[in-house]
Amino acid sequence: MNIKECKNCKIEFFPNGNQVHCSIECRTKFFRKLEKEQKTKRASKARISNLKTCNYCGDGFMSRFYGTDRQKFCSKQCKSDFHKEKKLDLLKVKADLSPRKCQYCNETFTTEFNTNHQRQVFCSSECKKEFHKEQSKIKTKELRDKTFKVCPICDNNFTPSNSMKQIYCTRKCANSIQKRVYNMMRHCYLKTNTSKSEHANEVLGYSPSDLLKHLETFSQWNELKNQKWHLDHKFPIIAFVRNGITDISLICRLDNLQPLPGTDNCKKNDIYNVAKFEYWLKNKSMIFNQVAI
């Protein structure tokens, strides 16, 4: 039997078939050493050819993949921009840029190539805005025509004419509450010798619609609203003036207001119960610093 020399440790041994290493340990050591040598050779070659030029921006960069030509771009941004432009070039070849009619003004126009050129149906942004304005008006008008409301003043059914926020059927019904609020405040300013400094809503702390909701809580409201009725102060303005109170928000508090028939309000004629009025004042913590009873 022929004697061979081990490729790793150079010791002579009797081989078994095509065996070239004396043991398994020597074989693993040999191939590990060979792999290290090959890696160092590849790394030395890669360092020489590692400097590359970006296919998009043309800047030089150091490739991260040694010994290969896989990396062609210096960054992910350059790679995405390159493929976007490539895709746009392909679409530009197939693009239909023939003249078309504007959907709003019916004038012919040509579009410039972009990602949305196929969907462009308006010649300008102004036409687009005006078209959608008209469409929204048509839709809101259709919605108003299908909507029916009940006027809280006259109980008539109506469809909103200008806005879905419309509460009253006519301007007359809307002014019936607002005018009463303004007349009430004007009367208070005359009795207290004061003048208006702010808007009515800011002075009173509530709006005409809030006053209407308050009036609807009275059982006689459904009968009175279609008759001649007055907005009455339960405790008259003269009662507050005698106690040195000129605060309109206190005089015209909602809990001091009630609807009364015109004849009943005229018969009342500033008559009130002094004891009840003083008790009502004491329960209002907001006026402790203003009133001395």
Residue 61, domain member (yes or no): yes
Residues 63 and 16 grouped into a single domain: yes
Residues 276 and 202 grouped into a single domain: yes
Task: For residue range 242-261, list pLDDT tens digits in order.
Answer: 888 888 888 888 888 998 88
As a whole-number percent, the residues of the chain with pLDDT over 90 amount to: 7
Residues 182 and 277 grouped into a single domain: yes
Segments forming the whole domain that contains residue 69: 4-85
Task: For residue range 6-21, list pLDDT tens digits in order.
Answer: 888 888 888 888 888 8
Residues 184 and 282 grouped into a single domain: yes
Residues 49 and 132 grouped into a single domain: no
Residues 246 and 276 grouped into a single domain: yes
Residues 184 and 153 grouped into a single domain: no
pTM beyond 0.95: no
Residue 196, domain member (yes or no): yes
Residues 180 and 229 grouped into a single domain: yes
pLDDT at 29 over 70: yes
From 59, 85, 111, the end of a domain falls on 85
Residues 140 and 72 grouped into a single domain: no
Residue 50, domain member (yes or no): yes
Are the beta carbons of 128 and 122 closer than 8 angstroms? Answer: yes
Burial of 204 (0-12, 13-18, 19+ CB in 10 A): buried
From 101, 136, 169, the end of a domain falls on 169
What's the whole-number mean pLDDT along residues 204-211? 87
Domain count, the chain: 3
Residues 227 and 267 grouped into a single domain: yes
Residue 48, domain member (yes or no): yes
pLDDT, residue 125, reads 87
Residue 99, domain member (yes or no): no
Per-residue H/E/C for the chain: CCCEECCCCCCEECCCCCCCCCCHHHHHHHHHHHHHHHHHHHHHHHHHCCEEECCCCCCEEECCCCCCCCCCCCCHHHHHHHHHHHHHHHHHHHCCCCCEECCCCCCEECCCCCCCCCCCCCCCHHHHHHHHHHHHHHHHHHHHHHCCEECCCCCCEECCCCCCCCCCCCHHHHHHHHHHHHHHHHHHHHHHCCCCCCCHHHHHCCCHHHHHHHHCCCCCHHHHCCCCEEEEECCCHHHHHHCCCCCHHHHCCHHHEEEEEHHHHHHHCCCCCHHHHHHHHHCCHHHCCCCCC
Residues 266 and 193 grouped into a single domain: yes
Instruction: Return the number of other C-beta atoms located less than 10 Å from residue 93's C-beta.
Output: 7
Residue 92, domain member (yes or no): no
Residues 248 and 188 grouped into a single domain: yes
Residue 29, domain member (yes or no): yes
d(CA 134, CA 25): 88
Residue 189, domain member (yes or no): yes
pLDDT, residue 142, reads 86
Structure tokens at 113: 């190539």
pLDDT greater at residue 144 or residue 292 = 144
Task: For residue range 40-73, list pLDDT tens digits in order.
Answer: 777 666 555 567 888 888 888 877 655 566 788 8
